[in-house]
Amino acid sequence: MKKRRGAHTGLSAQAAERLRPRLDAFLASTDAKARIGFDPVEFPHRYRDPRDVEVSALLAAALAYGRADLFRPKVDALLKRMGPSPAAFVRALDVAGAKELLTGFVYRFNVGTDLAVLLMGMGRALREHGSLEALFVRGWTASGTLHGGLAAFTAGLRDVPMDGLRRALGPERGLHHLLPSPLGPGAAKRLNLYLRWMVRGPDAVDFGIWKQVPPSALLVPLDTHIGRMALHLGLTKRTDLTWRTAEEVTASLRVLDPQDPVRYDFALCHYGMSGACPAKTVPQHCARCSLLPSCKVGPRAIARGSVQI
């Protein structure tokens, strides 16, 4: 029988029963605290107030693209200039303050005007709704979908007067990359990463400060590392980094854990980031991997490389 178009082709219940204990052991063996310094989540961990956490986290997630050694200094410098309370800073931010903070700012696709929209949009959300969570939940509730909720969230953040910012800082350049609106078919990795930080936990990595959104509603923050690991473990057969693929990977993870499907994300992503599971398979790495019995690629790589297990 032909598969219905759009039907889930990921993990079966039987495969999940075999994979779950291996992934649980893999997760337990991951030293999450040691990896935080390699992750943009390090920045919100500097703060304790929930409003400072959600503001600093969104800034960090929005700029977390490209090489970490390039975006981390940008985030760090901005947060230092914003003072001890990022939330208080953005609540009070106006065009003159944005010009002082962001004149000359450039990071890859983004310039100062792009960042000013993000910061002033967060400030407006805090003044009008009390929290960034409230802004997200309003759109999520109205749309009934995570995609719709994120689309409304980015649209709300972008709802700031542009003429004054353009006069002060020049035209925007990569605003759609920073805050995509409309959201489109992409995986929205950085936005879903932000949601993971805010919603699940609290644990060594994630904060769990957004209480109105259940972890079961989250979508995996799909990037090249998670996409590769998902293919290797049979969580999907799709190779594109789209929202549809993120949904399929999450559907497989939901078979493993219906209440907290993205709890493996940090460990799997950092396993790929660390070089332990690179894009080009290294048989010696595969032979040492605790997930080898569930991997679709590792055993073949070992056989080709004639590596002893």
DSSP string of 119-184? HHHHHHHHHHHSSHHHHHHHHHHHHSSHHHHHHHHHHHHT-S--HHHHHHH---SSHHHHS-SS--
Identify the CATH number of the domain defined by range 9-35+213-309: 1.10.1670.10
Summarize pLDDT for 82-136 with one digit per residue, the tens: 999 999 999 999 999 999 999 999 999 999 999 999 999 999 999 999 999 999 9
**% of the chain at pLDDT higher than 90:** 93
Return the beta strands (E) in the chain as ranges: 106-107, 110-111
Per-domain boundaries in the chain: 9-35+213-309, 39-184
Whole-angstrom distance, CA of residue 213 vs CA of residue 134: 10
Q: Which of 183, 167, 253 is nearest to 218 (CA)?
A: 253
Residue 121 in tokens: 């949009």
Residue 9 reports pLDDT greater than 80: no
Predicted pLDDT of residue 6 = 43
Asked if 283 contacts 302 with a C-beta cutoff of 8 angstroms, the reply is yes
Residue 75's contacts (CB-CB under 8 Å, 6 or more residues apart) are: 40, 43, 59, 60, 63, 64
The dihedral built from the CA positions of residue 105, 107, 111 and 112, taken in this order, carries a sign that is negative
**% of the chain at pLDDT higher than 70:** 96
Whole-angstrom distance, CA of residue 33 vs CA of residue 24: 17
